[in-house]
Amino acid sequence: MSNKTKKQHYVPQFYLKNFANKNKNGFFIYCYDINQNKQYPANIRNIAEEKDFYKIGSENFEEFFQNTEELASPIINNLSKTKKIKPLNISGNRYKLSFFMSVQYFRTNEMRQDLLENFSKISNHLKKYPMNTKMEMFNDQIDKKFIKHHQINFINKSSQEMTASLVSKKWIVLKNKTEIDFITSDNPIVLHNSNGLLGFACEHIHIFYPINPKLCLCLLDPENYSNYKEPKKFKNNEIILNIQKTKEHNINSIDEINFINDLQAMNATQHIFSKNDNFDRIKYLTEHKKIIPSNERERVKMKVLKNPKNGNDILVFSHPNDNLNFEFKEFY
């Protein structure tokens, strides 16, 4: 493997092309930076990337991510081009796309910031107590390499479980029939639940993944949905049949498109991407504090409890997405 420094994308270029415009210099896309409140066009080679993002010492994990992209790109590109949903009923295609989406969800800079905040809160808590060798070693380890390792380990540990969860969802292709385009971001797979619980296995979960300005995948809780909007409780013997067939749903309401786009904007780490340069709604959300800049956002909440048996601290972590909850950590 090459040791050269190179750009490594955490949102694939093949995907970004579906939201881009082509000129003589390649593919460019319109960006809105939520941290700096500015917009500009950029070549897709230069966005959603960081030098050596997946490189840890002599190890470079980029090939693994390229392999997942090669599995999914023909399926996504075919759907984007033809708008035909029938290939999504093929179990092999659905598995490949589910695996890709699982890895995409965990490979972003947003995930890295989640991990950094989690371990930083542990470290800050430990500073309240006299240091022993174990605690000092933990504090000394928290650097960029440490966080990268944990992100890769998290992908290895969680992507297969999440793949199984996505495969068994009710798949809907949302077709945008309005003049407002779908947008995407540097954290493109977003979740919504009317009851507030955002785990992938939660009842009534909606998972959105825009494919291009006029198409969006929506994966639903199959026990309670057979279409995009109206919940319906299914019996156990009906759930498998509900899962097997992908459906499509036409959206004619600008409000519904704005709702899906708002989820993208509010979950972005830094950049929102669009095929056009109209970011008026993003500016509105920013002005009204619906979009929180990355450096002002609290991603992980930590509570300190006491073990009633020995008085030790128990740190309990929670995340807006409960797929990212960490185990209880007890400190002496």
Q: What is the pLDDT of residues 170-206, one digit of tens each?
A: 999 999 999 999 999 999 999 999 887 788 888 999 9
Residues 137 and 230 in one domain: yes
Helix axis angle for 62-82 and 91-106, nearest 10°, is: 120
- pLDDT for the residue numbered 314: 86
Residue 53 sits in the same domain as residue 90: yes
pLDDT at 326 over 70: no
The answer to whether residue 44 is domain-embedded is yes
Does one domain contain both 146 and 281? Answer: yes
pTM: 0.89
Model confidence pLDDT, tens digit, residues 56-66: 888 888 889 99
Residues 272 and 314 in one domain: no
Looking at residue 231, the DSSP 8-state letter turns out to be B
Statement to judge: residues 97 and 14 lie in one domain? yes
Residues 186, 291: one domain? yes
2 part of a folded domain: no
Paired strand residues for 331: 313
Regarding whether 155 and 30 lie in a shared domain, the answer is: yes
- Asked if the structure places residue 11 within a domain, the reply is yes
Q: Mark whether 307 and 324 lie in a shared domain.
A: yes
Cα gap 20→42, rounded to integer Å: 9
72 with 25, same domain? yes
Section 50-77 average pLDDT: 92
287 and 315 both lie in a single domain: no
Q: Is the same domain home to 239 and 305?
A: no
| pLDDT top residue among 214 and 329 | 214
Q: Which residue has better confidence, 58 or 130?
A: 58
The parent domain of residue 313 ranges over 301-331
Looking at the predicted structure, is the pLDDT value of residue 332 above 60? no
Residues 230 and 307 in one domain: no
Residue 1 lies in a domain: no
Ordered DSSP codes for 20-64: -EEETTEEEEEEEETTTTEEEEEEGGGSSEEETTTEETTEE-HHH
> Which SS3 state, helix, strand or coil, does residue 225 take?
strand
When pLDDT is cut at 50, 70 and 90, the band that residue 31 belongs to is: very high
In a domain, 198, yes or no: yes
CB 117 within 8 Å of CB 317 = no
- Helix, strand, coil percentages in the chain from 3-state DSSP, rounded to 5: 40, 25, 35
Split into its structural domains, the chain has a count of 2
